[in-house]
Amino acid sequence: MLRQLLELYGKRHNSRLIMALDVTTNMYEAVAIENLLNSVSKDLLGVKIGVPTILSYGLHTISKWIDSVNDVLWIVDLKLADIGYVARQSIEQVYEAGFDAVIMHGFIGFEDGLVDAVEYASDLGISPILVAAMSHRGGMEYLNRVSADMVMRSLEIGLEGYVLPATYPILIKMYRGIVGDRVIIAPGVGAQGARPRVAVEHGADAEIVGRRIYMADDPISEVKRLHGVLTWR
């Protein structure tokens, strides 16, 4: 399902750009976010909502955004890292809010953890995405060093996509050959130093950009500039 949605919106909007929102009410009023989303949605493949935004605005408000802007891929970045029982409750909440995909961690382990979360998400119809490696420098201290083992094992449990860092594009190139046609989305563009399109050039399907957009003086113009680089075709 994730591959189909990604290609649907990517081709329709000629875009490989996913806008990340890790914002709070101290930065934007809810109506300002909705106006931004409506202004740029035709240039986006998707929108990724982070935990700060969920805590600040609440799922009820975010669900209204999803209803208002329903022509993009909606990803919730919970980075789930808990036992299966707790993960299932969180997944149910974001599914009911209208999200298409949910991001989760695998370092918690598979038995009674990741496997339960992936199976429950798949049964509901919300696509599970695994954080295979992270984009910040600390990612190389622990997680990124064991990512190969985690990715290889994850191929057996129905994951539909992977988060891999634009700041370490060699990992994207390496894992593309392993995960096949599963979706790869890449954060780290802009504020963390990766240039736009480097991840796509190494095999990613889409790039995630947050602070470069929502901290810009003119976020709408910044989306337009990025869209010009991150075209689907």
At residue 73, the 3 state secondary structure works out as strand
| Contact (CB, 8 A) for 65 and 23 | no
* Catalytic-residue membership of 79: yes
Buried b (16+ CB within 10 A) or exposed e, 116-138: bbbebbbebebbbbbbbbbbeee
| Contact (CB, 8 A) for 136 and 192 | yes
Closest C-alpha to 168, from 146, 193, 149: 193
Q: How many CB atoms lie within 10 A of CB 232?
A: 18
| Contact (CB, 8 A) for 9 and 72 | yes
Catalytic residue among 11, 42, 64, 79: 79
Residue 101's alpha-carbon distances to 80, 114, 149, 197, in angstroms, are 12, 15, 23, 23
Known catalytic residues are: 79
